[in-house]
Every structure is written in structure tokens, then in C-alpha cells.
Amino acid sequence: MPRTLDPELRRALAERVRYCHEMGIYDFYRREPHLPQFTEAASDTAENVPAFSSTPQSEMREEMAARKSAVAPTIVEDNIFEIALPKPESGVADPATALKLIREDLGDCTRCKLSKGRTKIVFGVGNPRAELMFVGEGPGADEDAQGEPFVGRAGQLLNNMIKAMGLRREDVYIANVVKCRPPGNRTPEPDECDTCSPFLMRQIAAIKPKVVVALGATAAKNLLAMHSSLGELRGRFYDFKPAGSDPSWAGARLAVTYHPAYLLRDPRQKGEAWKDLQMVMKYLGIEPPKKAPE
């Protein structure tokens, strides 16, 4: 049986929950001590690589054993969190309305130091009912100026990747781990990711995509709560469901691939990225567009 909490401890925990809610954090996570099973994904040879890609340099590496992240709500004794207010979007069935409520809750965010140098908050863009969602690292200069993710050179490449899949940018949803531009486009620091990622988790829970594609190591490590290399994380699906999501939603499959900015620096890896996208297309039942006869 759960023990009764000391009244002073209970009050302290309650105050901590209220503070977290003011920060926009509604879900509480813990990592499992064991290594759960992951779902292996069949990798197809990249044939007929589309225009965005170069010829693959090598075949897909033999799959390596990897851990799947398991996050679960922290269970607190004596129902301490019953006093906590629900998320603003709780019980809202329409994903567009839910996303609007999340954006309003985010407000003119000053929760971390990234707010000091930003021009605009870059919340996310796309179809609120998308089956496919892309998650990057953070806004760059163009995104900071326009308030929309992936609109610079890397964004143009991402658009080409989406088009090669037979989709349009308007068909998917695009967001980032952090919503303000890190100074000099540096990698977001752990505390910045921890502060901002709860809003991303709420976006994913509202959209309920079938597949989430993590673009780059920062997105992959934050979504999966793992510190494996990108090479170890690629080539398979992970079961993924943010804590506190609608119980009727089975969750998404999460795939990992290279960030478009990295592909601009090393075009040789475009063929490998196309393999990752082919895996996603196969799962979603998407046929790539046929080439026009010459």
C-alpha cells in the first residue's frame, strides 16, 4: 500500500507541480532501468534514388542492437498530482484547436535563455491531422526571421525530400525541439531542450501522427531519451508515445535520419537518407511519384 506523505512534503511537491505548469511542463517522465525491445524495420535497397539524392556509397549497414527509449508518467504516491490543473488542450478533439491552445499556453515565452536573442518564436507548421511529422533541432536565421521552421537552404532540401516521397509540405507537420534560435546556430543545450520539449510532446500528442521522423542527432536523442550515435539509431522504427497522450491513440512509429543541413554539408549521405524515407513510405503505404517518360 502507498505510504501517506508528510504534509510538508506534500505541500512542497504541490508547489513544484504548480511551478512546472507555469513553465508549460505538464508531463513527468522517468526512464526504465531495463532495456526494452525495439521493432526492427526491414531496410530496402535504395533504388531509383530521386533528384534530391546522390547515389548511395554503400549498402545499409547490418542492423545493430539498439535500445528503444521507454518513457512513462511518474507515479506519485497519495495522488499528489490530483491538485494539478489539466493541460489547456485536454479533452479537445480537434487537433487544430488543440495546437492553437498549446501555442497560446507557450505565449511570449521567456522560460529559458534562448528567448533573449530570438526575433520570433518558431512554433510549427503544417497539417494538424498529418500522418507524418518531421522534427528538427531548432530554428536558424531564416526561420527566426520568418517564424516558420525549415524555410532556409535546409528547408528547401527538406521540401525536395518530401516531394520525392510523393507528398507536399502542406501534407505533413514540421516542428523543432526548441522554438527559439540558438545563438550562432549552435546546438541547443540540455536545459534548453528540457524546457522546450514538453511543448513539442504536446504538439505530437495533439496531432497523433502515424510516423515521426527525427531529423538529426539532437532531435533523435531528445525524442528517444537516448545517447546512441545517429548511425546506431537509424534503420529501424521505435514505438513512440508522449506521456499523457490520449489513451485511445496507439502512438506513433519513430524513425531517425540525417538533418537536411548535414546533407548539404555531406551530399554523399543523401542516398542513405533516402533509404530511411523509403522505410517510412513503405510503412505508410506511400508510392513514390513515377518519373515522366522521356
How do residues 6-55 score in pLDDT, each as one tens digit? 556 666 676 676 666 556 666 555 444 444 344 444 444 444 566 665 44
More confident residue, 69 or 188: 188
Residue bearing cell 528540457: 194
pLDDT tens, position by position, 206-238 = 999 999 999 999 999 999 999 999 999 999 999
Q: Within 10 Å of residue 12's Cβ, how many Cβ atoms? A: 13
d(CA 170, CA 148): 13
pLDDT tens, position by position, 265-281 = 999 999 999 999 999 99
d(CA 48, CA 55): 9
d(CA 54, CA 182): 30
Grid cell, residue 26, equals 505538464
Q: Model's pTM, two decimal places?
A: 0.76
Share of the chain above pLDDT 70, in %: 70
pLDDT tens, position by position, 76-115 = 334 444 445 689 999 999 999 999 999 999 999 999 999 9
d(CA 40, CA 65): 9
Q: Within 10 Å of residue 122's Cβ, how many Cβ atoms? A: 27
Beta bridge partners of 214: 135, 256
Domains delineated in the chain: 36-68+91-284 (3.40.470.10)
